[in-house]
Amino acid sequence: MAGLLPVEEALARVLDGASPLPEEWIPVADCDGRVLTRDLVASRSQPPEDMSSMDGYALRAADLPGRLTVVGEAAAGRGFPGEVGDGQAARIFTGAPIPDGADAVVMQEDTSRDGDTVIIDRTARAGQFIRRRGLDFTAGVTGLPAGTVMNPRSLALAAAMNHASVPVHRRPRVAILSTGDELVEPGTAPGPNQIVSSNALAIAAIARRAGADVTHLGIAPDRLEATLSRVRDARDGGHDILVTSGGASVGEYDLMREVIRHEGGELGFWKIAMRPGKPLMMADLGATRLLGLPGNPVASFVCAMLFLEPLIARLAGRLVNGPTTAAAVLGADVPANDLRADHLRARVIETDGRLVATPFPVQDSSMIRVLAEADALILRPAHAPAARQGDPCRIVRLPR
């Protein structure tokens, strides 16, 4: 198995030359998860004027304690048009503008009312319960810098700064193609020697969670012209990434290398030092980057998580270069490793404040049920020595 590419180098090649996609303007309501291409500047101040933070009475602090004449009312969106003078107060509600002349607010709970008179038997300080103009932000300041990954909190800020639309990187467009005469779509009665296709659905879910728009190209039979036709559909359809499942190994019906050669593509690599996932390949077909994933479902899923997801993130403008790992300890002994980096499916529990990762006893890359029951992958680097239960390890959490 000489000549296998290390996992880290394979990821570097997948990401090499992948730049954030061009800008598009979208409604602020639709920008969750997208990445800003330029600074967002506030077009207004928040609050736009001094406002009350409490229900109560606006008055002059120097008049307290005392009996004050109530001369009007201020509510959110409807201010008091007059001025609060000596010995006067205005009924005020949270979010209402502070009337001219007033410099403090007293909570309703600290007052008593007698007709047009409010009685307050305590002092107040100037500025009490007043939100000053621009407390949150002022017009002209940068509220959200370029590169911000929008989330519900930053979305709210963009809207408050009065942006109806925002500039973001375009979503990556991903096409997914399954290959193999043995495959049928879910819900179809398989014929003799056939199985139900599941890889494409898992890959699509990973791609969508990473922020891509996904197109399914269906299943291509093990014939060169049929596979070529689907690959051309992806390339000519403006897809940034084409993900194929199957056809990347060494069998007589594994056609992807022949497809790449036929289309004049540049093969970036083929076969990596990884388990599961050795027959991973990458190529460029013009502006479309092809990731040829293995056909075994676990290998396909792991490769999509470790290579496709970072590629989508890079194209979307996010600074993601690989999986996020966490510290854990082994829940069982594991044998020494060979030249391939292992990604062992494992259950994870927390015990005494630490994560314990126990690998499943059978790690066959065809076992989808084990993958579904797993919480994480235990990372075992190439040539790692045998390790005992309780030894430290690194894990990658599987998406929930």
Token reading at 77:
């969106």
Examine the domain organization and report whether 208 and 291 are in the same domain: yes
Which of 284, 316, 348 is the C-terminal boundary of a domain? 316
Q: What is the pLDDT of residues 88-146, one digit of tens each?
A: 999 999 999 999 999 999 999 999 999 999 999 999 999 999 999 999 999 999 999 99
Examine the domain organization and report whether 351 and 295 are in the same domain: no
Contacts of 188 by beta carbon, 8 Å cutoff, 6+ apart: 196
Examine the domain organization and report whether 146 and 120 are in the same domain: no
* Residue 116 CB neighbours (<10 A): 10
If we measure between CA atoms, which residue out of 205, 172, 160 comes closest to residue 35? 172
* pLDDT reported for residue 251: 56
- Answer whether residue 73 shows pLDDT above 70: yes
Please check whether residue 1 lies inside any domain of the structure.
no
* pLDDT reported for residue 246: 85
Q: Lowest mean pLDDT: which of 58-72, 246-260, 327-341? A: 246-260
If we measure between CA atoms, which residue out of 200, 260, 204 comes closest to residue 235? 260
Please check whether residue 2 lies inside any domain of the structure.
no
Residue 399 DSSP label: P
Q: What is the pLDDT of residues 164-193, one digit of tens each?
A: 999 999 999 999 999 999 999 999 999 999
Examine the domain organization and report whether 55 and 105 are in the same domain: yes
* pLDDT reported for residue 308: 97
Examine the domain organization and report whether 303 and 342 are in the same domain: no
Please check whether residue 100 lies inside any domain of the structure.
yes
Q: What is the pLDDT of residues 304-331, one digit of tens each?
A: 999 999 999 999 999 887 889 999 999 9
| DSSP H or E stretch at residue 302 | helix 297-303
Average pLDDT over residues 263-281: 92
Per-chain mean pLDDT for the chain: 95
Which of 250, 281, 316 is the C-terminal boundary of a domain? 316
CATH code for position 386 = 2.40.340.10
Q: What is the pLDDT of residues 224-250, one digit of tens each?
A: 999 999 999 999 999 999 999 986 555
Residue with tokens 């040829």: 292
CA distance 271 to 208: 26
Please check whether residue 79 lies inside any domain of the structure.
yes
CATH code for position 192 = 3.40.980.10
Q: What is the pLDDT of residues 18-46, one digit of tens each?
A: 999 999 999 999 999 999 999 999 999 99
CB 213, CB 171: distance < 8 Å: yes
Examine the domain organization and report whether 233 and 361 are in the same domain: no
HSE value, Cβ hemisphere, 13 Å, CA-based, for 61: 11
Examine the domain organization and report whether 184 and 239 are in the same domain: yes
Token reading at 164:
């109806």
Q: What is the pLDDT of residues 371-394, one digit of tens each?
A: 999 999 999 999 999 999 999 999
When divided into structural domains, the chain yields a total of 4
Average pLDDT over residues 261-268: 89
| pLDDT band for position 257 (cuts 50, 70, 90) | confident
Q: What is the pLDDT of residues 348-374, one digit of tens each?
A: 999 999 999 999 999 999 999 999 999
| DSSP H or E stretch at residue 325 | strand 325-330
CA distance 391 to 337: 15
Examine the domain organization and report whether 303 and 214 are in the same domain: yes
Separation of first and last alpha carbons in the chain? 34
Examine the domain organization and report whether 40 and 124 are in the same domain: no
Examine the domain organization and report whether 111 and 161 are in the same domain: no
* pLDDT reported for residue 1: 46
Q: Which residue range(s) make up the domain with 334?
A: 325-397
CB 113, CB 120: distance < 8 Å: no
Listing DSSP states for 101-151 in one string gives: T--EEEEGGG-EEETTEEEE-S---TTTTEE-TTSSB-TTSEEE-TT-B--
* pLDDT reported for residue 320: 81
Query: The whole model's pTM is what?
Result: 0.89
| pLDDT band for position 252 (cuts 50, 70, 90) | low
CATH code for position 69 = 2.170.190.11
Which of 316, 351, 378 is the C-terminal boundary of a domain? 316
* Residue 188 CB neighbours (<10 A): 11
Examine the domain organization and report whether 148 and 196 are in the same domain: no
Higher pLDDT, 323 or 208: 208
HSE value, Cβ hemisphere, 13 Å, CA-based, for 114: 6
CB 314, CB 320: distance < 8 Å: yes
Residue type, 213: D
* pLDDT reported for residue 250: 54
